[in-house]
Each structure stands twice: as C-alpha cells, then as structure tokens.
Structure 1
Amino acid sequence: MSASSLSGVYRRSLLASTVLASLGSVGLTTPSCAQQSASPNLLPPIRIAPPPDRTTDSRPPSHRAASRSRRVARSAPRHPPVTETPVPGTMGSTVVSPTGVVTPARQLASSITIVTEKDIQTQQYRTVPDILRTAPGLNVLQAGGPGAQTSVFMRGTNANHTKVILDGIDIGDPGNANGAFDYAHLLAADIQQMEILRGPQSGLYGSDAIGGVISIITKKGEGPPRATASIESGSFKTFNQTLGLSGSEKNFNYAVNVAHLHAGDVPVTPPELLPPGRQAIGNNYDNMTYSTKLGVDLNENLTVNSVVRYTDAMLLFTGDGGFPSTPNATQSTHAVQQLFNREEAVWSLFDGRVQSYFGVNYTNSRGYDAGPGSPVTTTTGERLKFDWRTVAEIARDNHLVFGAEHQTDRIDTTDLAAKNGNKAGFIELQSALANRLFLVANVRQDSNDLFGERMTYRVAPAIIVPITETKLKASYGTGFKAPSLSQLFRDFPTFNFFANRNLKPEDSRGYDAGFEQPLFNDRVRFGSTYFHNDITNLIDYNATFTSLVNVNSATTEGTETFVSAQITERFGIRADYTFTRAVNAATGMQLLRRPKEKWSATATWLPLDALTLSATVLRVNDWIDVTRDGSISGIVAPGYTLVNLRGDYAVNDQVKVFGRIDNLFDARYQNPTGFLAPGLAIFGGIRVASYGVR
C-alpha cells in the first residue's frame, strides 16, 4: 500500500494501492522504507542517564564484548550525579552502522545523526516518527496521528530508498506494494540508540540503501536488576504505559520490555472534505509492543544472543469512497502483527581481535484491511535471512570486515503467492593513520534469483587537520533498489493492469563532501555537507497505464548544515538546516513531497539538578503534493512551524514526573495534503525506576 496521503484510497481499490505505490519512484506518491545492520552484541551500552555506578573498563568495546562475565557492578547511587546538558545529535558518541564496527563518530566521513536513549527521554519521544521529524536531511509524512501510514524521504530520494534495521534485522516488509516499510508502528520505549546514516550505502547493505540507512539499537541489560515503569495520559484520549526489566548476572544479560500506546480520538479529516452535515470521526489507535534481548557467554570465546520483538496494533480511520471521493461515514480498520527475530552466535578469538557473527533473521508482517462494504484483505510479507560476518582488527583502529548473506522474501495475499531469493558477499576495509586520516572502502556483490547480478561500492575518506582540528570529509557510493514482489507478480486483470516480470532494479550514484569545525574544546561545533544523487531506471507506469516499466530518472542535491553548542554545563542547543532540490531529471519538475527547506532548533536547560526543560522549533517550507484521493497533482502544500515544550522533574532517585506540550501555538496544517496533523496537545505522566543490589 502507498504510504501517506493515499491511505484512504488504497482501501477502496487494490489496484489503486499497488499502482500508486509503484509511482513513488518518480515522486508521485509516498512509499516507506526498508534492510540489515550490525549485530546487537557489537554496540556497547550507551549510558547517558545516570546508571547504577560500576567499575570502568578501559579496553576497546570489541574486547569488552568478548568478556562481559568479568564485569563488576555496584548498587545505584542514592543521588545521581549532575551531568552536562545533552546536545542532541552531537558527535561524541560511538556508532556502528556506517561500517559494522564500533567507531567514534569523529573518525567517520559519513553524514550521521545520533539519537541516544537520553535524547529520547529528554524529548519524550513515543514513536520512531517522532524521533525522525527534526533529523536533518529527512522529510516525514504521516497521514494523521499515531498509527497512520508514515513515510520518510531521505535526501530527496523515495521513501522506499531507505533501509531500516533493528538490532541487525532487516525489517522492510516484502508484502508492501513497493517493498517499503511503514514506520507508524515502531515505538521508542526500548530504544537505546538510533543512527540516521545518510547517503548511498548499498556497498555494505545491498538493496534499498539508496538514500541511506536508519539503524535502531534496543536496550541491553547490564548490572544489577533494574525495573522501570511509566504511565502517561493527555490529549486525544491518550493513555500510554511502559514496563521494563533488565540486568545481568555473571554470564547472562537480559532486557524485557512491554509498551502500550493508545490514542482514542485524533482529528484527522479536514472539515472542508466532508459532505454537508457529516461529522468527522477521529482516528483510534492501539499498539502493544513486546520485546526481549538476551545474551549468554557460554565461555570466554563464544556468546549467543537473541532478539525478539512483536507488535500487535490496530488503527480505526476514515477512508474514502465514491466518485469523486469523499470521506466515508463509517470507519475502516487496518490491523498489523509484526514479528522481528534474530538468533546469533558470536565467536571471538585472539582476545576479541577477531569476531565472527553467525545470524538467523526472521520477520513476518501481516496486515488486515477492511472498509465499509469491502471484504477483508490479508497480506503477509515474510523474510528469512542467514548471515555471517567477521570483523578482524588488523592493527589499532584498522579493521577488515567481510561476510556473506542468503535471503528469501515471500508475499502471500488472497490472489498472489510469490518468493524471491538473494545471495550476497561483501568486504570492507576501515583504516586510520595517526588518528588524523581515516578511510572506509567497501564492495558488495548481490546475486538475485530474478534480476541477476549487482555490484555496489562505497569509498569515504576523512581527514582531521592539525591545529584547527577541522574535519574534512567526502564519500562516493552506488546503490540500487530491487523491484518488489508485488511490482513483479501482482496482476489486476479486472482493471486491465498486469505486473512486469522483467522489471530491473532502480540504480543510483551519489556523493557528498563537507566539513565539521570544533571550537572551544569541542563545546561548539558547526559544519555543512553538500550531497548529490543521480537515480536511473526508476519504476513508473507505461504509456497506457496497464503495467510498470523502468523509465524515469531523478536528481537530488542539497546541503545539510548544523551548529551545536554546549553554552554552559546546564544549557545546550543544536540547530539544523537542510536545503533539498529533488527533480525529475527528464522534465526538471520538482518531485512530490520534498520540501526545499527545513530547519529545526532544540535547546535543553537544567535550571535545577532535578529539573530538565527543553524546547524545539521545527519549520518545514512549502512542497508539491497531490490531493487526498490522488486525482490532482502539482498542488502547493503550505509549510508549517511547530513549537514543542518538554519538562521533567526528579522527585527522588526513583520517581520522575514529566509533561510535554506539542504544537504549542496550535498550528493548523495538513501533512500530507488531505490529512490534518494534530493540533495543540498536552500530556503528563510519571516514571519510576528501581535498582536491585547484589
């Protein structure tokens, strides 16, 4: 199904959904996203919120991961120490998605935004779309409130040109019409770190990584047992709860989380679209997400890990009917059940200098759709993937990474059952010289059962200039997006529409170049990056609208500029500005739903040790859009400005109260056109945490 303003249309007609979703290639609709990351064992826990005090370990993260059983922990402090105010997206963190190796962000040429667990708590993000809205280089569209179809456009590429990974699991949905992923049902309660990696990444990740990669790493248990719980209520009949238990004991670590998000009455339908006398019905959304992350050190050299995440969600929404279409008088239903699972063995040799990861990944995404007078339709997308990767430290800060994958995708609907397989191998060199010159280079070969061979690569050098400490960075890479199973095989003979078994992948070449400049011992940092992508073989309608063909091309380019400043230990601010030009390369016309300008600023202040306050301003300028039913294209959608406020107060070291105001000035806007975004909203709640002692 298409991923934004067409959410009502596709439920009226299966043909409309499949065909319109395919048009995302040339910016005529809004698909979603999709594929793999580093293993969950690779990333060391990121502790920014004060954790239970523990002894330190100065060894590299990869060495610590090989011998977790040696760790010693103590009980939680009665009064957590005051730390510096967090500046969102700062470069002091380690990341894993750009290379598959835990690496300080300063050493990488990649354009990457880091969102930590502390950022999520401070900004009170509840869903992944909430996190992504202010990220540079991204445009987020959500057809209504929580649970409504959500698409993300990265650097002006299509929404199905971004790969989404959760703890090493490719969570793209093979059952979606364009092979994309709907972000709407990903809750943020158990996220430890999110890495938004921009630019072509197929050299490491294969299909779908034309625009970039979004990698989500969930929380991992460490130290004494820790139980957390929260409850929140507020506007739109919101009622959210979370419950978590985590810790480690000798050679075993565990994290179990349950999150419930409920919004009972979110106004979505613009009144001007309703027939006279008809009242709008607000969306009703309910999401239960259960997740576990477990790890066992069987001995000094062998570790096994398990990640399981299950989501059961239902959205009641107002679809469209009739011709010309109008919002229905009764609601439609969209329900999903998503299972993401990874089982992994990690074999470490030479004191952790060589680590091999052997993984089995399984995902199953099942969607149910029913509308007034329409039969229930069920679509299941299933993926089984085997992967192996070895990370070898050939010298200090120099690594060789190589591996192989075998993946099988399946789709099963009322009128179609199909599958496709893909095998791949890759190799990567990550090198550093004198802590000043850094290089990442990779190459990957994919062999697909349906479209054959594809080779992709990426080269990304960076240098830190002595004295000024300026980082100069650049990258060049290739990418591709394989056609979806629906595009290849799903026919609609009633509408004289037939799939094209001969579709080829969409291809891209892209580069970027920029700088980052630290000042005042890195308390201030600013920088800018120019990016450019050329995309060919884009999938679009044929001349008679009876099938799909590889016909179009697009060019996207722009700049991403930021400044972050830790003004005092208690006050920090970050601002981002993105300019994007995304056009049809043949006609020069602007692609749909890619605003040219977007900027955001977030300030965080600790006026008291126990009190944290935060404010965010987001401005998105005009963009070209289509009407709600897709019948008219090329309309100008007006931009919008949002102001959000956040605050939390620690009553003691176990109890925290919090509150937030979204859309402070009640800005009324549609994003996408035909779907109201939520207005002024106020929420509040309480969070408790209990640390065990051993």
Structure 2
Amino acid sequence: MRRTAPLLAALALPYAAAAQDVAPAEDVTILPEVIVSANRTPTAAASTGSSVSVITGQDIINDGRPFVLSILATQPGVSVSQAGPAGTNSGFAIRGASQQYVRVAVDGIEISDPTSTQVQASLSGLLLDGVGRIEVLKGSQSALYGGQAVAGVIDISSPRATEDGLQSTYVLEGGTYGTARAAYALTGQNDRGDFSLTAAHLQTDGFSAAERADGNTEADGYDGNRLSATGTFRATDNLSLFGSAFTQHESGDFDGFDPITYQLVDRDNTYDTTTWGARAGFDLTTGALASRVAVSWFDIDRDTDEEDIGHSNFSGDRVKVEYLGGYTVSDALLLQFGADWTRETARTTSPYGATAGDADVAGVFGQAIWQPVEALTLTAALRNDDHSEFGSYPTGRLSAAWEALPDTTVRASVGTGFRAPSLYELFSPTYGNRDLDPEKSVSADLGVEQGFAEGRGLVSATLFLLDIDDLIDFTTRFEQVPGTARSRGVELAGSYDLTDSVSLVGNYTYTHSRTATGSRRLRVPLHDVNVGVEATPVSRLTTGVEVQYVAGLPDEPFANSSAWRSDYTLVNARVAYALTDAAEVYVRAENLFDEQYQTVEGYSTAGSAVYFGVRGTF
C-alpha cells in the first residue's frame, strides 16, 4: 500500500482531516511536508511538480519582522520594492512579473484591489502577526486559479491550533522611528473542530517617504489595525463547515511631486483605507467523491487627500462563488473538477472626474493527478474562463514530479495564463479602452532537489522562463502593444544543519527580465542573494543573522535622486532569550550597518533600526 498512501492521504480533497476520518489508520502515512496551493489539494512535497516556496510559522517567528513583504523578499524568485516607510506604496514581483500578475489570497479570500489601475494586491500593511503559513506558487497557474495567476499565486493562511485545548500567544514590541507593535492570538481545538482569532496593531512615526538625502525631512507615519478569525466545525464524519473573516484599517502619510519642478518632495498627503473580507462554506465527502462549496466577499474603501490635487475616493468589492470536487477513481488516479463565478465592481471619484464599472467572470476546470508508478506523479489541468467583456479564454497546465532516487526529486511544469484588463483599463472615461483583450502567458520550469548528509542538508536548482504577450501599456490611453515580455532565470536554494544548534540557509536568484520593447523590467534585480544562519550557542539563547545582496536593480530616473544606486547589501540580526518555556525577550536589528539604498528611485528606505520585544504563549 505504499503507493496508495500518497494519493489517499496527501491528495485527499479538500480537507485533510476528512480523509483521516474515512481512510483506515493503517493506510495513512504521516508526510513530512504537504503543499496545498500547487494542486488545490494537500499534496506531498515530493509529489508536487510545480515550484513552490513554503514559509512556515517557525520561519515567521525566526524572522521576527512585522510585515509579510519583508519575509517574501527572502524567498527565491521574489523581489520587493517599497516607496518609503511602512504603509506607503509597495510592489513585488515573481520571476520578473509584477504584482498585477500574481493572485494573492488570505484564508481563501482574494485580496487584490479591483480599484487599482491594474487589479493587484497591496501588501504594504499586511502584518505577519496572524499568519501561520505562506506558500509561494510560481509559474502560470490560470488553469487552476483563473485570471491574474500569470506569474504565480501567494497563498496566506492563519495559524491553526496544534493540540487540543486553548492557547494564547502575544507579541509586544517597540523601537526605532517611534514604532509600537502589539498582537494577540487565541487558538483552540477539540475533536469537533478548531478556530483562530487574531488582533494586531502597529504604529510608527516613520520617516520621509521622499529621499532624506535629497533634503526631505518630514516624517510620514503609519497606523494599522487588523482583526481576523478562521475556524472549522466537523458536523459529522463526512461534513465540515468552515469560515474566515478579517477587517483592517490603515491610515498614514505619503509624499508626491512638486507641480512646478516635478521633483519628488515632502508633501502633506494622507490616506485612510478600510478593507474587509469573509469566506464561508462546507466540505462534504460521500464515498469516493469529496466536494467543497464556498462563498467569499472582499471590500475596499480608500480615501486620499493630496496637497495639490484634493480628495479622492476609491471603493470596490468582489464576490465569488466556487465549487471544488474530487473523485478517487483508483489508488493511482484522482480527478478534480470545479466551477466558480466572480463579480468585481469599482467606483472612483476625484477632482479629475468619476469612473465606475463592473465585470463578471465564470470559469470551469478539470485536473487529473495520476501516479502510474510509486516514484512518479503527473498532473494535467484545463480551464476555460468567460469574461463579460471579452468572452472565453482557455488555459492549461502540465506538471511532473519524479523521485529519481530516495533523496533526489526532479520537477517540471509548463502552463499558460492570462490577465484580464482591469476595470480602470476598460472603463476609465479618459484612458480606458473597451477593445482591450487579455494578456496571455506561457511559463515553464525544470528543477532538481537533492537531500544529503542523512537528511541534514537539502539543495535545489530550478531553471524558469515566463513569456507574456498582448501586453497592455499606457500611451495616451491603455493600448495593446506588440512584442513579448520575457523572463529567464535560475533559482538556487539550500539549507544545512551544521550541528544540532547551528543551521545555514541561503538562496540565489538570477532574473533576466525584459519588456516587449527589449528594455529591462523596472525594479527587478538581475542578482538577488539571501544567506542566513541560525544558532543556539547556549541553552535558551537563540541568535540569527541574515544578509541580502541585490545587484543590477533598474528603475526610471524620473525622481533624479542623488541617492539612487542599483546595488546594495543589507544585514539583519536577532537575539532572543527564553525566560521560560513559554516566554522570550528579543532584540532585532534591521539594516545593521546603516546601508543607504533605494528600491524605488527617489524614495527613502529605513536606516539602521533596533527593536525590543517580548513574545510568549499561555
């Protein structure tokens, strides 16, 4: 039964606990790592053909920094840019494609902003407090997730209880730039279900978003508050109910351009944003058929007041209904199928005028996961989406995972994707174009993962490519432009436990990414290196050092900043001491050597900063 266990336990759809209810105990294998996002069902990492980076709850604790963007920046294939202090406009890219090509979900709720110029998720203020796991799925995944998943998917989930009973965790922190951080989480579990509740707050005086070295001194502050909840209730052995919800309020300051000199300078600009989301549904297992039905909502309301423009409001929402099914044909074959319907709405009012629009997308898909022999897992997926403005668009994906040797796994995938024009690109009265078509993509990757030293070490190498056609660009309005945007590169990663108390991790990404005209894609570095060491030199004392080196970072010289450089090196460090088995105090230093750098030309980044905190459970 060695082949049966991966399919019945690791490919159980859609809720792993439900599979344990119906599978005999002797047939269940406890897997060291399970990936959810790659096939939209729990899958053993060794059976996953797509390239996925996993950030665990322990990784988040070890990192210590407050924002999701900070830890994403350490992952292979992911680059991050920040236009100023906490809360200001941020960007990220996967394999050279920016965030409008990445689908982001938190506990199954898609959080991309439908009011943006391009529909994209803003992670500027998303705190790691209340996050238990992040999966970064790379490559075109529209065959499973629909539009926008051209470069990949970021799947974020809340922490879950690990044992029966109630457990509370807390974080209190303060430090440089007048920063104060507090978070509390309550998790619980029994034989009928589990839940998680989180409250998080971060406030900082910040620093000037416009480059301080260029003479800007006015600090731009930020205040963020988030509440989230998620839970599951097992009504019967075959029926589970689930739900999740969050609300977040953010306010802060940002800078802009002088209307006469067009230089980036201190401005008295403010924003106030409220977002909320919810999702509810059920999992039902009847014999060989497992089904999930879910409904989700997302809403955003953002107000900006700009010194030279005035007041603007951006409000939008998304509602989604989805069905996901899985049928176990045999020990070696699982079929998946599903359908979903999404409506997005966006409304904007500003001194330049008002815009409004909405769009519906209905999609159906099917996937087969086949294990012809114990060491080989093949997947094939097809999907068709029908958009209310441009009609149908089909996508597909193939992937394979081969355990060539007990410690060697070879992975390969190829997929197509598309990005539908945003509501702004379609309906803006000044710049919109209702004749636009979706952007199309093809991606592929090939990688090998090798374990060594009796499980103490792991290294991997992945070659990737991503081509995007029918790009939408801005001239005097949004137009389709000829040519193909291309990304080519390699991701290297490794980890090694030198001793029981010293561990090394590292990764390197080379990304050669060009636009349809052949110029380098902005804010995507050519070289990105991350190296870290974690050590426990004595009992109760934990230390960590992380070094990031970025080189070949291009940007537009619109800001004419004297501080712009394309290469930089950052060093972060953390020391924690366990007062008891349930509480620790820590000191975290960011940009230890006060590197002066920019990730967006003309915008400041933080200098050397120190934070003191306490973290514990009870």
TM-score (norm 2): 0.92
Cα deviation, residue 280, structure 1 = 1.1
Match of 1:191 among 123, 131, 141: 131
Q: Which digits, 9 at most, give the CA deviation of each residue in 1:145-177, with x for residues without a partner?
A: 211111111111233111111111211111111
Partner of 2:423: 485
Partner of 1:605: 535
Cα deviation, residue 228, structure 1 = 1.8
Match of 2:17 among 65, 69, 76: 65
Match of 2:159 among 178, 198, 219: 219
Query: Is the CA contact 1:294–1:305 (under 8 Å) kept in the aligned structure 2?
Result: yes
In 2, the alpha carbon distance for the partners of 1:552 and 1:333 equals 39
Match of 2:242, SS state, is: strand
Partner of 1:168: 108
Partner of 2:196: 255
Cα deviation, residue 550, structure 1 = 4.0
Q: Between 477-486 and 97-106, report the one with greater CA deviation.
A: 97-106
Query: Is the CA contact 1:625–1:637 (under 8 Å) kept in the aligned structure 2?
Result: no
Match of 2:304 among 369, 372, 381: 369
User: Per the alignment, do residues 501 and 656 of structure 1 end up closer, same or farther by CA in structure 2, a change over 3 Å counting?
Assistant: same
In 1, the alpha carbon distance for the partners of 2:261 and 2:20 equals 63
In 2, the alpha carbon distance for the partners of 1:461 and 1:146 equals 40
Partner of 1:37: none
Match of 2:399 among 444, 454, 460: 460
Match of 1:177 among 117, 127, 137: 117
Partner of 1:245: 186
In structure 2, give the amino acid aligned to 1:568: T
Match of 1:574 among 478, 498, 505: 505
Query: Is the CA contact 2:207–2:217 (under 8 Å) kept in the aligned structure 1?
Result: no
User: Per the alignment, do residues 565 and 92 of structure 1 end up closer, same or farther by CA in structure 2, a change over 3 Å counting?
Assistant: farther
Cα deviation, residue 519, structure 1 = 1.2
Query: Is the CA contact 2:183–2:199 (under 8 Å) kept in the aligned structure 1?
Result: yes
Partner of 2:58: 118
Match of 1:688, SS state, is: strand
Whether 1:511 and 2:452 are equivalent positions in the alignment is no
Q: Which digits, 9 at most, give the CA deviation of each residue in 1:671-694, with x for residues without a partner?
A: 11111110111001112311xxxx
In 2, the alpha carbon distance for the partners of 1:541 and 1:62 equals 42
Cα deviation, residue 58, structure 1 = 12
Match of 1:205 among 120, 145, 148: 145
In 2, the alpha carbon distance for the partners of 1:96 and 1:203 equals 16
In 2, the alpha carbon distance for the partners of 1:128 and 1:679 equals 19
- Structure 2 residue ranges without an equivalent (≥5): 1-8, 23-30
User: Per the alignment, do residues 607 and 329 of structure 1 end up closer, same or farther by CA in structure 2, a change over 3 Å counting?
Assistant: closer
Match of 1:676 among 594, 600, 604: 604
In structure 1, give the amino acid aligned to 2:225: M
In 2, the alpha carbon distance for the partners of 1:284 and 1:315 equals 5
Whether 1:404 and 2:339 are equivalent positions in the alignment is yes
Q: Which digits, 9 at most, give the CA deviation of each residue in 1:73-128, with x for residues without a partner?
A: xxxxxxxxxxxxxxxxxx95211000011112122121111100011001103111
Q: Which digits, 9 at most, give the CA deviation of each residue in 1:553-600, with x for residues without a partner?
A: 211101111121122222211111111111134x43222222111111
In structure 1, give the amino acid aligned to 2:518: G
Whether 1:623 and 2:553 are equivalent positions in the alignment is yes
Query: Is the CA contact 2:564–2:597 (under 8 Å) kept in the aligned structure 1?
Result: no
User: Per the alignment, do residues 111 and 334 of structure 1 end up closer, same or farther by CA in structure 2, a change over 3 Å counting?
Assistant: same
In structure 2, give the amino acid aligned to 1:173: D
Cα deviation, residue 386, structure 1 = 0.2
In structure 2, give the amino acid aligned to 1:623: L
Query: Is the CA contact 2:413–2:446 (under 8 Å) kept in the aligned structure 1?
Result: yes
Q: Which digits, 9 at most, give the CA deviation of each residue in 1:131-155, with x for residues without a partner?
A: 1111111110011121111111111
The structure with higher relative contact order (CA 8 Å, sep 6+) is 1
In 2, the alpha carbon distance for the partners of 1:626 and 1:219 equals 40
In 1, the alpha carbon distance for the partners of 2:243 and 2:108 equals 11
Match of 2:69 among 129, 142, 164: 129
Match of 2:270 among 329, 333, 341: 333
Q: Which digits, 9 at most, give the CA deviation of each residue in 1:4-28, with x for residues without a partner?
A: xxxxxxxxxxxxxxxxxxxxxxxxx
Whether 1:665 and 2:588 are equivalent positions in the alignment is no
In 1, the alpha carbon distance for the partners of 2:464 and 2:523 equals 19
User: Per the alignment, do residues 395 and 265 of structure 1 end up closer, same or farther by CA in structure 2, a change over 3 Å counting?
Assistant: same
Query: Is the CA contact 2:598–2:605 (under 8 Å) kept in the aligned structure 1?
Result: yes
In 2, the alpha carbon distance for the partners of 1:223 and 1:270 equals 51
Partner of 1:471: 409
Cα deviation, residue 417, structure 1 = 1.8
Cα deviation, residue 664, structure 1 = 0.8
Partner of 1:47: none
In 2, the alpha carbon distance for the partners of 1:281 and 1:299 equals 59
Q: Between 387-396 and 403-412, report the one with greater CA deviation.
A: 387-396
User: Per the alignment, do residues 453 and 258 of structure 1 end up closer, same or farther by CA in structure 2, a change over 3 Å counting?
Assistant: same
Match of 2:310, SS state, is: coil
In 1, the alpha carbon distance for the partners of 2:15 and 2:264 equals 58
Correspondence list, 1:198-597, <5 A? 198-221=138-161, 223-274=164-215, 280-328=217-265, 330-350=267-287, 354-396=289-331, 398-414=333-349, 415-466=354-405, 469-492=407-430, 498-542=431-475, 545-585=476-516, 587-597=517-527
Partner of 1:687: 615
Tell me the matched-pair count. 596
Query: Is the CA contact 2:337–2:365 (under 8 Å) kept in the aligned structure 1?
Result: yes
User: Percent identity between the aligned chains?
Assistant: 27
In 1, the alpha carbon distance for the partners of 2:10 and 2:427 equals 54
In structure 2, give the amino acid aligned to 1:343: A
Partner of 1:10: none
Cα deviation, residue 63, structure 1 = 7.2
In 1, the alpha carbon distance for the partners of 2:356 and 2:340 equals 24
Match of 2:112, SS state, is: coil
Q: Which digits, 9 at most, give the CA deviation of each residue in 1:196-246, with x for residues without a partner?
A: 111111110111111111110112345211122221000110100001111
In 2, the alpha carbon distance for the partners of 1:612 and 1:396 equals 45
User: Per the alignment, do residues 657 and 396 of structure 1 end up closer, same or farther by CA in structure 2, a change over 3 Å counting?
Assistant: farther
In structure 2, give the amino acid aligned to 1:539: I
Q: Which digits, 9 at most, give the CA deviation of each residue in 1:33-67, with x for residues without a partner?
A: xxxxxxxxxxxxxxxxxxxxxxxx99979775228
Query: Is the CA contact 1:622–1:636 (under 8 Å) kept in the aligned structure 2?
Result: no
Match of 2:144, SS state, is: helix
In 2, the alpha carbon distance for the partners of 1:69 and 1:229 equals 33
Correspondence list, 1:149-164, <5 A? 149-164=89-104
In 2, the alpha carbon distance for the partners of 1:560 and 1:249 equals 41
Query: Is the CA contact 1:443–1:458 (under 8 Å) kept in the aligned structure 2?
Result: yes
In structure 2, give the amino acid aligned to 1:687: R
Match of 2:328, SS state, is: strand
CA RMSD, 1 decimal: 2.3
- Structure 1 residue ranges without an equivalent (≥5): 1-56, 71-90, 493-497
In structure 2, give the amino acid aligned to 1:655: A
Cα deviation, residue 315, structure 1 = 1.5
Partner of 2:4: none
In structure 2, give the amino acid aligned to 1:304: L
User: Per the alignment, do residues 225 and 125 of structure 1 end up closer, same or farther by CA in structure 2, a change over 3 Å counting?
Assistant: same
Q: Which digits, 9 at most, give the CA deviation of each residue in 1:529-569, with x for residues without a partner?
A: 11112211001134xx2443343421110111112112222
Cα deviation, residue 250, structure 1 = 4.5
Name the structure where strand makes up a greater proportion of residues: 2
In structure 1, give the amino acid aligned to 2:427: F
Partner of 2:42: 102
In 2, the alpha carbon distance for the partners of 1:610 and 1:430 equals 45
